[in-house]
């Protein structure tokens, strides 16, 4: 890491209006991340509010069924608000308060980050406004209502493709309108420096715990850790404390939508090209004129045309491997995990499960692998039913 | 003296923005000549980008119209080539970094020099990141124009010291778009600039009336008008030439 970059990736490609603000953010973060009181407050929130540490669960039936590596699930779905997003928002909301901010704004795709920040804002007494693409407000209407219940104002974004990238655009625009009392709580390891570092550090609690837990269970490190990747925050959190363990494979599962040989995917590493967007140099799905391409995934949380700069670096240096997983594979994995282990996981996380279904037998039976189960799947049930052609009537 | 410098030599500069390819490249060519005839000193030509994060709704919509009409970077270079056959008006591109990065910096600026583009403004390329393409821009003599915002405070001097062409003072917080009131202390910003630099400064974002234009032209060296012009193009489409001319004529005569 040098000048806010991982190799050539990262940077601060943002309007001049925001430059002093991100500089102030960097300074505040560098101070508070070493401030004992801040650390203690965050730790208390993690334990007493979010429910950390999260379980490392041995998926015995799945292990037997797949007949390969011992499969462990890092149960971020059991956190308060139902996903890993709470790790990031509690830290950023606390930091925002320390910086004297009274208002937070955020983008959301599936609504998991939106619900998480609305929750943190309610708890810490911050005003909260969420930007969500119109298409996502429709496929995740329950989460819209959740955010409103938590006291947040939800803005429907109708520009562009009306999904996550447009929600990020609109939140950035809003931040340039009103920056003095407002912190932008970016939801993933993306955007301009220092966001990719702040979010990674806050999410790295996942691998910090998982590394200790697996050593207790297995007395040795896992052969691989696996996570789904959109912007890449749960994956970065799952990878981080294993990066120096060179024998541990790091595998990120991207959304291949209807397939990477169709135009309907969000597989940034497989199909994207280097570019500069949303404040960072990284890989992006784009057309032959450098216009950001519309992307598709059944998962609103992975429906993003870019990937965080540290992932770009891990890819480039071959420390991590990124594999595409289709909608169909993810839906099958969603159903498989429900029936095999009695866990309804987020459709995002199901992308990682799908890869494990394919790859478990590539490992020996005495090896272990950890899958980050980034979120729970209640929010996805209606969409999966629709995908399978089942119509659910929730109201009379 | 290059063409951008010459834009500030005859009194206050009126800088007009329009999006290339809205509603078509042929019409953009015609509108550029109307702007010149109406007295614009410099044309800011927008290369449309799918995700223009510094733009308000008016220019976002223009970008969508231009992209839907099939506008490409190549097409815009061809447009400039045609304009240059008839006109010496100073021309600067306004676009986002990704289309330039994708085209390739060296190739992009070589092409700018070849067709006769004088400068470039990139809202998502702040001062600290200019090293990204500064060498290539300089190699081909293309002026990289910096922006200064209401929040720039101590950054103003740093940016002004290194500035070339002109400085684009962003009048207000937020994105581009017409505003009834501009409350930033532009005089203070201009004073900080003039303490360290001779580069002319022009004020943009939100200016639409002759009164606003005259007011800011008095404080600074010029004004930039974008959304108000694009709104006329949105309203009148391919027939906007005359309306654009009359609007800009009135704006320029007030300076």
Is the pLDDT higher at A391 or at A124? A124
H/E stretch holding B5: helix B3-6
Q: What's the pLDDT band for A261 if we cut at 50, 70, 90?
A: very high
Cα–Cα distance for residue pair A266/A259, rounded to 1 Å = 9
Question: Distance between CA atoms of A379 and A395, rounded to whole angstroms?
Answer: 16
**Bridge partner residues of B220 (DSSP):** none
Q: Are residues A115 and A136 in the same domain?
A: yes
- B75 to chain A: closest CA residue: A289
pLDDT at position B188: 96
pLDDT at A326 over 80: yes
Domain co-membership, A103 together with A57: no
Say which CATH number the domain at B13 has: 3.20.20.70
Asked whether the predicted pLDDT for residue A395 surpasses 60, the reply is no
Between the alpha carbon of residue B100 and those of residues A110, A190, A290, B17, B97, the distances in Å are: 32, 21, 8, 19, 5
| B146 has pLDDT over 90 | yes
Could you tell me if A332 and A258 lie in one domain? yes
Confidence class of residue A357 from pLDDT cuts 50, 70 and 90? very high
Chain A nearest C-alpha distance from B253 (Å): 31
Residues of A in contact with B129 (CB under 8 A): 11-13
What average pLDDT does this structure show over A130-142? 90
Flag if A176 and B173 touch (Cβ within 8 Å): yes
Domain identity same for A223 and A297:
yes
Q: Is residue A17 part of a domain?
A: yes
Sequence-distant (6+) residues with CB within 8 A of B214 are B254, B255
Place of tokens 């220092």: A194
CATH number at residue A367: 3.40.50.1100
Stretch B215-244: mean pLDDT? 97
How confident is the model at residue A396, as a pLDDT? 44
Hey, which residues does B201 pair with through a beta bridge?
B167
> Nearest-CA residue of chain B relative to A276?
B98
Count contacts between A and B (CB, < 8 Å).
109
In a domain, A369, yes or no: yes
Q: What is the largest CA-CA distance in chain A?
A: 58
CA distance B168 to B200: 9
Nearest Cα to Cα of residue A195 among A310, A273, A31, A40: A310
pLDDT higher than threshold 60 for residue A110: yes
Identify whether residues A89 and A234 lie together within a single domain.
Answer: no
Whether A208 and A194 map to the same domain: the answer is no
* Greatest C-alpha distance within chain B: 46
Closest Cα of chain A to B249: distance in Å?
Answer: 31
Domain span including residue A189: 8-46+85-199
B18 min Cα distance to partner chain A (Å)? 19
Identify whether A188 is part of a domain. yes
Mean pLDDT of A137-159: 93
Task: Establish if A396 belongs to a structural domain.
Answer: no
State how far the Cα of A88 lies from the Cα of A42, in Å rounded to an integer: 10
Mean pLDDT taken over chain A: 96
For residue A182, the SS3 value is: strand
Q: The domain containing residue B63 runs over which residues?
A: 3-253
Determine contact, residues A378/A370, Cβ cutoff 8 Å: no
Residue A138 binned pLDDT confidence (cut-offs 50, 70, 90)? confident
Asked if residue A131 and residue A89 are part of one domain, the reply reads yes
C-alpha span between A262 and A258 (Å, rounded): 7
For chain A, what is the domain count? 2
Q: Among B97, B103, B151, select the one facing A20 at the smallest CB separation.
A: B151
- Per residue in A328-342, pLDDT (tens digit) is 999 999 999 999 999
Q: pLDDT tens-digit profile of A9-61?
A: 999 999 999 999 999 999 999 999 999 999 999 999 999 999 999 999 999 99
Residue A174 sits in the same domain as residue A106:
yes
* Residue A393 belongs to a domain: no
Q: In the predicted model, is pLDDT for residue A181 greater than 50?
A: yes
Q: Which residues of A does the annotation mark as catalytic?
A: 85, 107, 374
Are A75 and A117 found together in one domain? no
* Mean model confidence pLDDT for chain B: 97
Of B45, B42, B78, the closest CA to residue B230 belongs to B45
Could you tell me if residue A394 is inside a domain? no
Confidence (pLDDT) at A2:
63
User: Is there a single domain that holds both residue A137 and residue A229?
Assistant: no
Beta strand ranges found along chain B (DSSP E)? 13-19, 42-46, 91-94, 119-121, 143-145, 147-148, 167-170, 201-204, 222-225
Is there a single domain that holds both residue A224 and residue A304? yes
Please state the domain count of chain B.
1
> What is the arithmetic mean of pLDDT over A98-116?
95
- Would you state the pLDDT for residue B173? 95
Q: Quick one: A342 and A286 in the same domain?
A: yes
């Amino acid at each position: 890491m040098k000048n806010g970059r991982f190799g050539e990736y990262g940077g601060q490609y943002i309007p001049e209006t925001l430059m002093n603000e991100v500089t102030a953010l960097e300074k505040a973060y560098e101070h508070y991340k070493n401030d004992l009181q801040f650390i203690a407050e965050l730790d208390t929130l993690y334990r007493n509010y979010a429910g950390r540490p999260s379980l490392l669960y041995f998926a015995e039936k799945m292990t037997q069924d797949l007949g390969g590596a011992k499969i462990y699930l890092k149960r971020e779905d059991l956190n308060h608000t139902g996903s890993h997003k709470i790790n990031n928002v509690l830290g950023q909301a606390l930091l925002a308060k320390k910086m004297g901010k009274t208002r937070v704004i955020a983008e959301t795709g599936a609504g998991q980050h939106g619900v998480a920040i609305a929750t943190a804002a309610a708890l810490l007494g911050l005003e909260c406004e969420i930007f969500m693409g119109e298409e996502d407000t429709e496929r995740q209407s329950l989460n819209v209502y959740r955010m409103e219940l938590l006291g947040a104002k939800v803005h429907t974004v109708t520009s562009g493709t009306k999904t996550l990238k447009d929600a990020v655009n609109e939140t950035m625009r809003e931040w340039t309108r009103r920056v003095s009392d407002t912190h932008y709580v970016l939801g993933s390891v993306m955007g301009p420096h220092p966001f990719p570092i702040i979010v990674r550090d806050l999410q790295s609690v996942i691998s910090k715990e998982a590394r200790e837990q697996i050593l207790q269970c297995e007395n040795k490190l896992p052969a691989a850790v696996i996570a789904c990747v959109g912007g890449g925050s749960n994956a970065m959190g799952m990878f981080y404390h294993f990066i120096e363990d060179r024998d541990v494979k790091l595998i990120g599962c991207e959304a291949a939508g209807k397939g990477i040989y169709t135009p309907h995917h969000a597989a940034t590493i497989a199909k994207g090209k280097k570019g500069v967007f949303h404040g960072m140099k990284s890989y992006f799905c784009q057309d032959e004129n450098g216009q950001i391409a519309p992307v598709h995934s059944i998962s609103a949380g992975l429906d993003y045309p870019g990937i965080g700069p540290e992932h770009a670096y891990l890819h480039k240096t071959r420390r991590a491997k990124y594999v595409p997983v289709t909608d169909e594979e993810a839906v099958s994995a969603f159903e498989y995990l429900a029936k095999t282990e009695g866990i309804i996981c987020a459709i995002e996380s199901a992308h990682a499960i799908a890869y494990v279904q394919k790859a478990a037998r590539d490992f020996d039976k005495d090896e272990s692998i950890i899958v980050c189960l980034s979120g729970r799947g209640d929010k996805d049930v209606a969409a999966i039913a629709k995908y399978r052609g089942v119509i659910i009537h929730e109201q009379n | 003296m290059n063409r951008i410098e010459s834009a500030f030599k005859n009194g206050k500069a009126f800088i007009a923005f329009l999006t290339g390819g809205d509603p078509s490249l042929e019409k953009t060519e015609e509108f550029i000549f109307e702007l010149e005839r109406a007295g614009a000193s410099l044309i800011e030509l927008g290369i449309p980008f799918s995700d223009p994060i510094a733009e308000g709704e008016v220019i976002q919509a223009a970008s969508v119209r231009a992209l839907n009409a099939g506008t490409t970077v190549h097409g815009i270079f061809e447009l400039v080539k045609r304009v240059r056959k008839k006109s010496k008006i100073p021309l600067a591109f306004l676009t986002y970094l990704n289309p330039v990065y994708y085209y390739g910096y060296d190739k992009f600026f070589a092409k700018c020099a070849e067709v006769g583009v004088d400068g470039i403004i990139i809202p998502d390329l702040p001062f600290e990141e200019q090293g990204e393409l500064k060498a290539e821009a300089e190699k081909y003599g293309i002026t990289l124009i910096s922006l200064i915002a209401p929040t720039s405070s101590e950054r103003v001097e740093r940016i002004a010291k290194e500035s070339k062409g002109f400085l684009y003072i962003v009048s207000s917080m937020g994105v581009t778009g017409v505003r009834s009131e501009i409350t930033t202390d532009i005089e203070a910003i201009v004073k900080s600039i003039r303490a360290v630099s001779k580069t002319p400064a022009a004020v943009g974002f939100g200016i639409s009336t002759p009164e606003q234009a005259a007011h800011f032209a008095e404080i600074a060296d010029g004004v930039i008008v974008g959304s108000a012009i694009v709104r006329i193009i949105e309203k009148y489409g391919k027939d906007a030439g005359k309306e654009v001319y009359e609007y800009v004529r009135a704006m320029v005569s007030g300076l």
